[in-house]
Amino acid sequence: MKLADNKATLSFTNGGPSVELPVYSGTVGPDVIDIRKLYAQTGMFTYDPGFLSTAACQSSITYIDGDKGELLYRGYPIEQLATQCDFLDTCHLLLYGELPDAKAKEEFDRRVTMHTMVNEQMQFFLRGFRRDAHPMAVMTGLVGALSAFYHDSTDINNPEHREISAIRLIAKMPTLVAMAYKYSMGQPYIYPKNSESYTGNFMRMMFATPCEEYEPNEVLVRAMDRIFILHADHEQNASTSTVRLCGSSGTNPFAAIAAGVACLWGPAHGGANEAALNMLHDIQRNGGVEKIGEFIKQVKDKNSGVKLMGFGHRVYKNYDPRAKLMQETCREVLGELGLQNDPLFKLAMALEKIALEDEYFVSRKLYPNVDFYSGIVQRAIGIPVSLFTAIFALARTVGWIAQLNEMISDSEYKIGRPRQLYSGSAKRDVQPIGQR
């Protein structure tokens, strides 16, 4: 970041001394006002619950232009990465800052492949869960449990430990998600097969059984790989901020990523893809396209508590570029499976059209986000609704790790410790129970 040729002056109407604050610029996007000395100079905090106007860090990983609906990973537009690269290329890019050349790709893919198995003991964690446990409950437990197996790489301040933990987490997430799925189905776990691609391996671990040969459908593998790319990172969203804050205490990478998994689960965040599909199912059950008007009326009624899941975004005030790519992927997958007339896809497109013409959504700049179509694609591929957010966590793990490693290797970083505006009781004395 560089000092801008601009400064901010804070003056107070009560005659207090004004304060001059430096302004910094990045490569692109909004400048920042550096308030790090504000408390020392004024005895006051800034107040920004939800962090609508707060840059918590500087980062060179992902850039989002919410007005243009633009998303760049290390400067590359998501549209180019999603169509010209695969997920492991994207992992290499997010982790190391550059797309791999052929040699680097072969080495990186091989390293990840060699870490896809998990310790045999991991299956005993699964046995402790009910078969109908939500996969995100299982994943929060399993990812946290990984730190119990890798005592050789839990020092987050050691670059070698960070590197091997990154590879292990990226490599093992597909295995753990597939194990959570097989456990819920009462089917045997399928071990990774080193001759398969990263995503082909995932599809095989999910859908193969020991009873017959399994050949992944390349169109579906490609679609799943694209879903991973689209979900890989997204600047300082809630779960990434959770991982950064958790990691800032110096805890191990596995624990920090487990915190990200827990945060992503929420329906306002990664859980929205599951909620969006359930919403479409509900509309379908209650009359389908003819009932969209009634549903939209409910959404606009604040007292209903009903939201159009998969719509709206804190940053995008234009169409989420990932939603466009997800819609295209939807068409490809449904076409491949002969489901062009899938009623849920048609319902989703009708709902999107009506919402985008409705003043309530237009005035609030509410557009489809990544979660609006991803559920339809995953359902067509055969992924159960309850596993959607676990797939999101699988893909986002590389983004969480890249952001965590960027923070830890930033000499300026220190443990995150926000303050507050206290509005509780003033100091008072405990009274004997008889006088309370």
- Residues lying near ligand SDX in the complex (CB under 6 A): 234, 237, 268-270, 272, 299, 307-315, 364, 366, 369-371
Among all chains, which residue has been given the structure tokens 């926000």?
A: 418
Taking the C-alpha atoms of residue 114 and residue 171, their distance in angstroms, rounded to an integer, is 8
Measured from the CB atom, the residue of 126 and 325 that comes closer to ligand SDX is 325
For the chain, the maximum distance between any two Cα atoms, rounded to a whole number of angstroms, is 81
Examine the residue annotation and report whether 313 is marked as an active-site residue of this protein.
yes
Strands 19-25 and 32-33: antiparallel
> Shortest gap between Cβ of 308 and ligand SDX (angstroms)?
4
List 31, 313, 358, 410, catalytic entry:
313
Taking the C-alpha atoms of residue 393 and residue 260, their distance in angstroms, rounded to an integer, is 8
Examine the residue annotation and report whether 101 is marked as an active-site residue of this protein.
no
> Shortest gap between Cβ of 276 and ligand SDX (angstroms)?
6
What residue spans of 85-234 are helical by DSSP H?
87-96, 102-113, 122-127, 135-146, 159-185, 198-207, 218-230
Termini Cα distance of the chain: 57
> Shortest gap between Cβ of 273 and ligand SDX (angstroms)?
8
Measured from the CB atom, the residue of 135 and 200 that comes closer to ligand SDX is 135
Helix axes 135-146, 159-185, angle to 10 degrees: 150
Which residues are registered as beta bridge partners of 3? 24
> Shortest gap between Cβ of 373 and ligand SDX (angstroms)?
12
List 225, 371, 410, 429, catalytic entry:
371
> Shortest gap between Cβ of 355 and ligand SDX (angstroms)?
9
Measured from the CB atom, the residue of 157 and 303 that comes closer to ligand SDX is 303
Taking the C-alpha atoms of residue 432 and residue 436, their distance in angstroms, rounded to an integer, is 7
Measured from the CB atom, the residue of 164 and 356 that comes closer to ligand SDX is 356
From edge to edge, which strands make up the β-sheet containing 19-25?
A: 2-10, 19-25, 32-33
Measured from the CB atom, the residue of 87 and 311 that comes closer to ligand SDX is 311
> Shortest gap between Cβ of 358 and ligand SDX (angstroms)?
10
For residues 370 and 326, the answer to whether their CB atoms sit within 8 Å is: yes
Classify residue 2 by burial, with Cβ atoms within 10 Å: 0-12, 13-18, 19+.
exposed
Measured from the CB atom, the residue of 193 and 300 that comes closer to ligand SDX is 300
**Helix and strand totals (H; E) in the chain:** 18, 6
* Beta carbons within 8 Å of 325's beta carbon, 6+ residues apart: 78, 79, 82, 226, 230
Active-site positions read: 313, 371
